[in-house]
Every structure is written in structure tokens, then in C-alpha cells.
Amino acid sequence: MAFVISLLVIAVISYVLGGVNGAIIMSRLVYHEDIRKSGSNNPGFTNFKRVYGLNAATWSVLLIDILKTALPVFAAALYMSLTFHMWQFGAQFAGLFCMLGHCFPVWYGFKGGKAFIAGFSTIWFVDWRMTLIAMAIFFLLLFTLKYMSVASCTAALSCPVSLAFLGYSDIWVLVLAIAAAALVIIRHYPNFIKLAHGTESKFSLSSKKQV
């Protein structure tokens, strides 16, 4: 019973904190606009950068989205480790619910981003080897193909594959990792439609607006 209650508490806290959206907050605070009405209308880091450029506000979006995930994930991992000796499970479980909160936030009418940064923030607490593999794949594809969607989804997919090849002992960690990767890929479905039509925007470091 204590285990189930712990999971429920972790799920709720992670989901609620995961729903805090850095792009929406910064677009309103700095530009007095709603990022959901600009660019691709997606309230995420990539669309914020495309609309406002790479500046202090954009880096703040990234920091908010990392912290809102890293803090509950670390807390859940530590608690589950001390209580049930399940660090990796606690981290992956909390991370998945942070991702769900980011995608379907209660604060913003259940319309959120695509959860890649939330997922990226999670995997550091699950397995550092998996993280390094995912990072290498992400940056390689991002700076060669220059499509954020392709780089993000391929890196996400590499996580459960890496865990499987690394000989992970806990099947439930692998199951949660598969669910997290599937969530990222599903959320990027519109981007793949654009890729098929040749209308997907390429990643660029150029700025449009300055703060």
C-alpha cells in the first residue's frame, strides 16, 4: 500500500510541476505575447527560439523546463531509493509524468509542448551511459540534418534501445522508457507531416528579437 501511495503522490506532483511552461511564462513576461499564437503555435523551446531568437529569454525558457523536471525527478529518485531501493524506477516514473504534464498541462487547458526537454532532463537521473548515447545522436543529427524533430525523436528512441543493450535488470524501467520515447514521437507527429510535405523548418542559431 505504501508503494502505491508513493507512486500516486509522485505522479501528481510530477505532473503538476511538469505543467509549468517556460515558453508561455517568458513570452508573456518579456514580450507581453502568447507563444501559442506565434510561429508553429507550439509552447516549447524550439518555437520560442524561432520566434524570439536565441537570447536571455530563450535560455530562461530552457532553464525553467529543465528545473521543473530535474527537481521532482531527483526528489522521486532519492525517495524511491531510500524507501524501496528503486532509484532508476523512481526517476523514470517521475520523469514520464513530468513529460505528461508538459504535454497536457492542467494550467493551460491541457495544451502543451512536445516533452523532449523534459525527457532529456529525466534521462540524466536514469542512466548516464544512455544519456551520453542519446546526446551524441541528438547533436549529430541536429547539426547535420538540421531538423530538430528528427534529432529529438531519434534520440528519444535510442533511450529504451540503449537500456535494452546495456542489459538493464528492471523491466519496468525499460517499459517506462519506451512509453516516454513513444510520447515524444507521437507529439512530433505534425512535424513529420511537414517533413513529408517539405515544409518543416530547419534549426538555426540566428536571432530575431533581442532582450
User: How many CB atoms sit inside 10 A of residue 85's CB?
Assistant: 9
C-alpha to C-alpha distance for 211 and 198, rounded to whole angstroms: 32
* pLDDT tens-digit series, residues 130-151: 999 999 999 999 999 999 999 9
The type of residue at 120 is F
* pLDDT tens-digit series, residues 28-77: 999 999 999 998 899 999 999 999 998 999 999 999 999 999 999 999 99
pLDDT exceeds 90 at position 210: no
Task: Check residue 203 and give its pLDDT.
Answer: 85
The type of residue at 173 is V
**DSSP codes joined into one string, 91-122:** HHHHHHHHHHHHHS-GGGTT-----HHHHHHH
Per-chain mean pLDDT for the chain: 94
pLDDT exceeds 80 at position 100: yes
- Grid coordinates representing 41 are 503555435
Domains of the chain by residue range: 2-197
Task: Check residue 13 and give its pLDDT.
Answer: 98
Model confidence at 110, pLDDT cuts 50, 70, 90, reads very high
pLDDT exceeds 60 at position 209: no
* pLDDT tens-digit series, residues 161-192: 999 998 766 899 999 999 999 999 999 999 99
